[in-house]
Chains A and B, each alone.
Chain A
């Protein structure tokens, strides 16, 4: 049986770990509130944008534009959003798994990394990393998303890549975060989308469809990336909150167990001491 001192020391160390996880949980709870609000505010813009683009595609069925057609290159750029910090449960590894087990051929994939954790993992797995925007995920702003979108579109325009994907964590609600992969380019009409009233109205475009698409698609992609970043930040904090919550309760369990052991050991020591004293007294008399 472990000595009293050992048990006491171990309990102390678990206790201080618990204090840290408790504090981290509180911090991420606060951050989650903020991030959640921001993500929700973007939803308006994003939905309107999505509807407009789908609406355009639905109406202008047979327009020919490079953004709508697959190009010759078989390379795929994946914009990968993870976090800069760990201790968030499965948050980062879920995104990594999404890519490594997503049916992509390693030699066809290029990574544009937002978030250090994902970048480090992909670099270890020897995926080529073409862009590194890790500092942006700490405080995403719209201009950052525009930069990333421009970079990706430039590669696409040069013919170096044929498809662009976005891997992010969809923030469904506080407890449920879904790693998601969406295709940004070429843009496809969503077959599952319900036809709304607005879709039936014949729409004019000024300038003409092709030109309008040329201008709207980059904005559309920027907004997707921006929305993805905000949702990922919210998910990250949600995931960390959950991870730290379970770490705190696990620590609680261990502390309870150790306290029990400690008390037993103490009682054992007292009993032994008493037995010894009595035995000693009997020996004298």
Chain B
């Protein structure tokens, strides 16, 4: 019999347990680049950057994951997400609008603009749009 290739995945937000179940692979974006994690990964703690989260189990689940960090153990992954939303819950038009707003702010580059914040909101908007596709 083939080895069980599933690991335990838990995604927790401050207000609720967002996802709890078994998965074969989970992909998301970190400060070091996009990663995909299978079972028996070397134990690692990574910091999350805004991006698309894909859970592969029997079916594919997609969400936009914005910030937090993940603890990867060999048979268990815990993602502590400050902000996360299922693709189905995202309003694409709003995301497009906020992408435009953020781009404008960065382009104009006023002194008063908080660049880091504008960039984060651009990344977030892009993650939302990408997760819709």
Interface residues of A, Cβ cutoff 8 Å to B: 38, 41-42, 44-45, 48-49, 52, 55-56, 142, 146, 198, 201-207, 211-212, 215-216, 219, 222-223, 226
Q: Are B12 and A44 in contact (CB under 8 A)?
A: yes
In the assembled complex, the Cα of A212 lies from the Cα of B10 at a distance in Å of 21
Known contacts A206-B45, A215-B31, then 8 further A-B pairs from the complex at CB < 8 Å, ordered by chain A residue: A45-B13, A48-B80, A52-B69, A52-B78, A55-B71, A198-B73, A201-B73, A207-B31
Closest to B47 in A: A215
For A219, list chain B residues within 8 Å (CB).
Answer: 67-69, 80, 82
The 8 listed contacts between A and B (C-beta, < 8 Å) are A41-B16, A45-B15, A49-B80, A52-B80, A56-B45, A204-B42, A205-B45, A212-B45
6 closest Cβ contacts across the A-B interface? A204-B44, A45-B12, A142-B14, A201-B43, A203-B43, A206-B32
Q: Are A41 and B82 in contact (CB under 8 A)?
A: no
Q: Are A142 and B45 in contact (CB under 8 A)?
A: no
Q: Is the interface of B mostly helix, strand, loop or mixed?
A: strand
Residues 93-116 (chain B) with a chain A CB within 8 angstroms: none
In the assembled complex, the Cα of A215 lies from the Cα of B47 at a distance in Å of 8
Q: Is the interface of A mostly helix, strand, loop or mixed?
A: helix
Q: Are A205 and B31 in contact (CB under 8 A)?
A: no
For B73, list chain A residues within 8 Å (CB).
Answer: 198, 201
In the assembled complex, the Cα of A38 lies from the Cα of B15 at a distance in Å of 7
Closest to B35 in A: A206
Is residue B88 contacting chain A, with contact meaning CB distance below 8 A? no
How many residues on the B side are at the interface (Cβ–Cβ under 8 A)?
25
CB distance from A253 to the nearest CB of B (A): 43
Q: Are A204 and B14 in contact (CB under 8 A)?
A: no
Interface residues of B, Cβ cutoff 8 Å to A: 10, 12-17, 30-32, 42-47, 67-69, 71, 73-74, 78, 80, 82
For A55, list chain B residues within 8 Å (CB).
Answer: 71
In the assembled complex, the Cα of A226 lies from the Cα of B15 at a distance in Å of 10
CB distance from A229 to the nearest CB of B (A): 11
For A56, list chain B residues within 8 Å (CB).
Answer: 45
CB distance from B39 to the nearest CB of A (A): 15
Known A45-B14, A198-B73, A206-B32; contact A142-B82, beta-carbon cutoff 8 A:
yes
Q: Are A203 and B45 in contact (CB under 8 A)?
A: yes
CB distance from B8 to the nearest CB of A (A): 13
In the assembled complex, the Cα of A205 lies from the Cα of B16 at a distance in Å of 26
User: Which one of A48, A49, A206 has the greatest number of beta carbons of chain B within 10 Å?
Assistant: A206
In the assembled complex, the Cα of A203 lies from the Cα of B44 at a distance in Å of 5
Q: Are B12 and A206 in contact (CB under 8 A)?
A: no
For A216, list chain B residues within 8 Å (CB).
Answer: 45, 47, 69
Closest to A223 in B: B14
For B30, list chain A residues within 8 Å (CB).
Answer: 206
Known A216-B47, A226-B14; contact A48-B78, beta-carbon cutoff 8 A:
yes
Q: Are A45 and B80 in contact (CB under 8 A)?
A: yes
Q: Are B46 and A206 in contact (CB under 8 A)?
A: yes
For B16, list chain A residues within 8 Å (CB).
Answer: 41
For A206, list chain B residues within 8 Å (CB).
Answer: 30-32, 44-47
CB distance from A235 to the nearest CB of B (A): 18
